[in-house]
Structure 1
Amino acid sequence: MPLEIAPHHESPDMVYWDVLQVRSWTLYVAATPFGLCRVTLPGESLDDDVKWRMRFMPSAQWRHDPGALETFTQQLSEYFTGTRQDFFGTLDLYGTPFQRAVWQALLTIPYGETRSYQDVAQMIHDPKAVRAVGGANHANRIPIIIPCHRVIGKQGDLVGYGGGLEVKQELLKLEQQTRRIFC
C-alpha cells in the first residue's frame, strides 16, 4: 500500500507523538487519528511548531504514545539503515491547496533522484511558481517522507532546506549510496 493523503477534516482532538533516535539525530514524529502529520528534522522539536499547531490543531491534546507511531517510526528507522526506499500509510497534511499540490508532486520524485524547483513547478503545471515551490517545501511538516530534500537548484546546487544544507546533503548521500545496492 503506497502513501495516501487523508481527506480534509476538522481539527483533530488528539495527536500522538514519539521520539526516534537515528544516527546522531533526534527526530520527533506525530500523528493524528487520520494519519502522520509531523516529522521533525535534527535540531527541531515539536515545540517549534506552536504557530502551526495553534492554526491547525488548536484544541488537540498531545499524548506520548509510541505504539500509535510504530508503523512510521519503524519505516523511518529502516530508511536510515538503507533498507527502505518507499513509505506506506496515510498522511494528514495541513496546508493550502497549492502547498498540497507541491507535496503530492514531491512524492513522485524517486528515491535517490533529485528535481529542481523549476521541475517541480512544471510538475504542478505552474512553471512560474518556482519561488512558491520553495515556500511550500519550507512549509512541509513531514520531511523525509515527503522528500523535499530531493529538490535542488536549477544548476544542481544544494539550496534551501529547513534542516540545513548539511542534513540535506546527508539524506541525499544516504539515498545515492543505498540506491546503488537496490538497483
Structure 2
Amino acid sequence: MESLKQRILEEGVVISDQVLKLDALLNHQVDPKLTLEMGKELAARFRESGVTRVITVESSGIPVAFAVAAELGVPLVFARRKKTLVGDTETFSERVPSFTKGIVTDIMVSRQFLKSDDHILFIDDIIANGDAARGLIKIIERSGATLAGMGVVVEKCFQQGAATIREQGVRLEALVKIKSLENQQIQFEV
C-alpha cells in the first residue's frame, strides 16, 4: 500500500531505532478513509479463508479490525486488557507484556464470543516483539477455534515478533514492512 507508506513517511515519528510513533494515523487519531482502505486490502488477502470472526487486542487494533470485519461481513471481537464491573466471568485469558507500554497485562476474551467452530482472523496495528499476538493466539488455540491467519498494518521486520508467529505456522500478512528505523530514517522492505 503505497498510500500507507507515504502517510507513514509524512506523519510517523521515529522515537528510537526500535520505536515508531504512528499516533497521527493509527494509535491516537484515526483516518477513516485510510482505515477503510487498509480494511479492504486485508480482507481481500483473507477473503477465501472462511473467516467467521475477526479478533484484535484493544485498543489500537480496533479501527482496522472493524474495517476488515465490515468488509468480510463478520463480527469483530476484541480482547480486553481490563476487567469491567459488568464483564463476563467466563473468559479465556493470558498474561502478556506490552512493548510500547512497558507493562504486563492480562488480555481476556469472553468464551461467549470465541467458539470451537470459529475460523478466526487476527488483525492488529503493529507487530514488534509479538508478545500480545502470541498471547492471543494461545487464547484462540485454547478455545478450539481455528486461526485463519493474522493481518497487521505494520510489521517491524527488525524485531522478532512476526518471525516467531510465522515459525508457529501462522500465515501473517503485513500491509507495510519496515526494515529499519536507524538514524531516525524509516526504511521499508521492498
Structure 1-normalised TM-score? 0.31
More strand by share: 2
Structure number with higher relative contact order (C-alpha < 8 Å, ≥ 6 residues apart): 1
Structure 2-normalised TM-score? 0.30
